[in-house]
Amino acid sequence: MGRRRRGGRDAAVPAGVPARGDHRTGRRPAAGRGRRPGRRVRQGEAPDGRRKTGPEGHRVVNGAGWPVTGGTDAVEYPRAGGCAVPLRHDGVRLPRLVVAAPSSGVGKTTVATGLMAALRRRGLTVSPHKVGPDYIDPGYHAIACGRPGRTLDPWLVGEDRIAGLLLHGASTPEPADVAVVEGVMGLFDGAHGGSDFASTAHVAALVDAPVLLVVDVAAQARTAAAVVLGMQAFDPALRIGGVVLNRVGSPGHDRILREALGELGLPVLGGIPVTESVTAPSRHLGLVPVAERAPESVAVVDALADLVEATVDLDAVLALARSSPPLVADAWDPVDALGGPVTGAAPTVAVAAGAAFTFCYPETVELLTAAGARVVGFDPLRDRDLPAGTRGVVIGGGFPEQHVEALSANTALRDRLACFDGPVHAECAGLLYLGRRLDGRPMCGRLPLDARMTPRLTLGYREAVAATDSCVAAAGEVVRGHEFHRTVTDPGHGSPAAWRWDGARHGFADPRLHASYLHTHWAGHPSAVCRFVASCLDPGGADRHPGTSPNRLGVRPSELSSR
């Protein structure tokens, strides 16, 4: 497949916190001593099933599990459940592997997504995962597997939760036969330049999985073997179990490469020829989200499955995955993460969805439901009102700049959000949507800011301190997150601000509102969920009709275009 360059994590940013423990990639995770038994996934062999077809086989979902065809009207998330398979004291026998590469742009997403879809065609239930904070690739994984794509990021959630989150994903909504984890950037590239913490190699060690290495062999022959040997030698404790060659030029080229790698005793499990016939469109922040091109996304994933089926030895890949040792860990559970079951009133929390707001981790919704909320989606592009009875609103990231005209034209919903009195949590795209204007077009006017696109990419991990009490954090609370955007706001923060990091203030906050560029993963700080749902239940947060309460600007957003 043709090369696709994309943005990654900011490897040049120095570590802002001291290293936590031993981050060597060869270290296996602790055996979970002292933990109470969790619920487990079972070991599954490949059933003799047929390829899933029809609406369910091609149901398009975003990363959090929302259907992205047919809208979000009256769509509710199910109540939080968890794994349904009992604990095995000798560990969980979950076949699994990590798809990695020496660098970005060499075909990890091609191979990982195609592999997921090809295995599903065999009748296997595949659990899809992605290393890092990515929201977009998991959307393609969701198409390939028919279940939400999930991220595994030690920086955002802590390394002690990674194995448990893998097991949770592999058992939700049903036990998986195999888990496939797509890596991020180069195999040893970590959250910060001087460490491999949160790298693909680090995650592979935390989940005790073999690595399938993808190598772009265009314009090289035996040198590819030297690259692979160097990666093996860099961390001998990491198990590289096979190689997939990408962009092979000819049968002769393929033969030379296999002979060279054979000298290392490393099997070549596939050779993908140079082709431009299978491409997924990209733009300034990577791939285009599946919600923006649902039918085409299905076709792309099908084409990737065809490509992998024709060029990769799936039996050998499955054998590698099944060679994984039992994973000794407790499956993460959203109810347990909050300290136990929640009883009482169930406030309705509206979560922005649709093509403009696609960035939402599945665990966010699972934690909200575990905290007692009734979670309902709404689409700011077409819904003229919030769901009935809404007591709180969550607006995550996405690409509002691609839909600015449609968002601006929906004046009814803009007015509604401007005067909504319940708690609101907004990240990145949500921040822009709540402002006065985005690239000159009127938005909600809930916040006194104007936003515009710029050529400069702002990205990287952040360790933030809550600057004031809000609906998701108490003043002084420390949270880890990441930024990834090409916009700026004027002003850059409110008074009070939402966060402080690197000696500066960021975002906007008050007791009922929290909005900033920072993306967070609530599995890493579940107290945010408890605080948000409690705020929804506060009698002072009862929603009022538009026009009964002034926003920060003292005007209705529909009036902004005339000012």
**Of the given ranges (87-101, 346-360, 481-495, 548-562), which has the lowest mean pLDDT?**
548-562
**Is the per-residue pLDDT at 203 higher than 90?**
yes
What pLDDT shows up at residue 393?
97
Q: Is 471 a catalytic residue?
A: no
**Is the per-residue pLDDT at 206 higher than 60?**
yes
The pLDDT tens digits of the residues spanning 376-394 come to 999 999 999 999 999 999 9
Q: How confident is the model at residue 458 (pLDDT cuts 50, 70, 90)?
A: confident
Give the domains, in start order, of the chain with CATH numbers: 97-322 (3.40.50.300), 334-562 (3.40.50.880)
The pLDDT tens digits of the residues spanning 513-529 come to 999 999 999 999 999 99
Q: Tokens representing 288?
A: 């285009």
Are the beta carbons of 142 and 512 closer than 8 angstroms? no
Mean pLDDT of the chain: 82
What pLDDT shows up at residue 492?
75
Nearest Cα neighbor of 526 from 363, 346, 353, 343 is: 363
Q: Tokens representing 60?
A: 């398009």
Instruction: Mark out the alpha helices in 69-161 (DSSP H runs).
Output: 108-121, 137-145, 154-157
What pLDDT shows up at residue 27?
39
Nearest Cα neighbor of 356 from 66, 109, 552 is: 66
Q: How confident is the model at residue 551 (pLDDT cuts 50, 70, 90)?
A: very low
Looking at per-residue confidence, does 491 or 152 come out higher?
152
What pLDDT shows up at residue 288?
67
What mean pLDDT is predicted for residues 125-131?
Answer: 98
| Gap between the Cα atoms of 318 and 258, Å rounded | 20
| Gap between the Cα atoms of 480 and 272, Å rounded | 38
**Is the per-residue pLDDT at 88 higher than 50?**
no
**Is the per-residue pLDDT at 70 higher than 60?**
no
The pLDDT tens digits of the residues spanning 318-334 come to 999 999 999 999 999 99
The pLDDT tens digits of the residues spanning 91-118 come to 899 999 999 999 999 999 999 999 999 9
**Is the per-residue pLDDT at 162 higher than 90?**
yes
The pLDDT tens digits of the residues spanning 175-194 come to 999 999 999 999 999 998 78
What pLDDT shows up at residue 90?
77
Q: Tokens representing 366?
A: 């699972």
- Count Cβ atoms below 10 Å from residue 283 Cβ, excluding itself: 12
What pLDDT shows up at residue 291?
63
Are the beta carbons of 368 and 342 closer than 8 angstroms? no
Which residues are CB-neighbours of 498 under 8 A, at least 6 positions away? Answer: 466, 467, 468, 470, 506, 507, 508, 509, 514, 515, 516, 518
| H or E segment to which residue 432 belongs | helix 429-434
- Count Cβ atoms below 10 Å from residue 238 Cβ, excluding itself: 22
Instruction: Mark out the alpha helices in 251-402 (DSSP H runs).
Output: 251-262, 294-311, 314-322, 334-337, 362-370
**Is the per-residue pLDDT at 289 higher than 70?**
no
Between the alpha carbon of residue 377 and those of residues 351, 354, 369, 418, the distances in Å are 5, 9, 13, 18
Q: What is the pTM of this model?
A: 0.81
**Is the per-residue pLDDT at 375 higher than 90?**
yes
**Is the per-residue pLDDT at 236 higher than 70?**
yes
Among 83, 428, 530, 536, which one carries the catalytic annotation?
Answer: 428
The pLDDT tens digits of the residues spanning 247-287 come to 999 999 999 999 999 999 999 999 999 985 555 555 444 56
Percent of the chain with pLDDT over 70: 76
**Of the given ranges (47-56, 274-283, 419-428), which has the lowest mean pLDDT?**
47-56
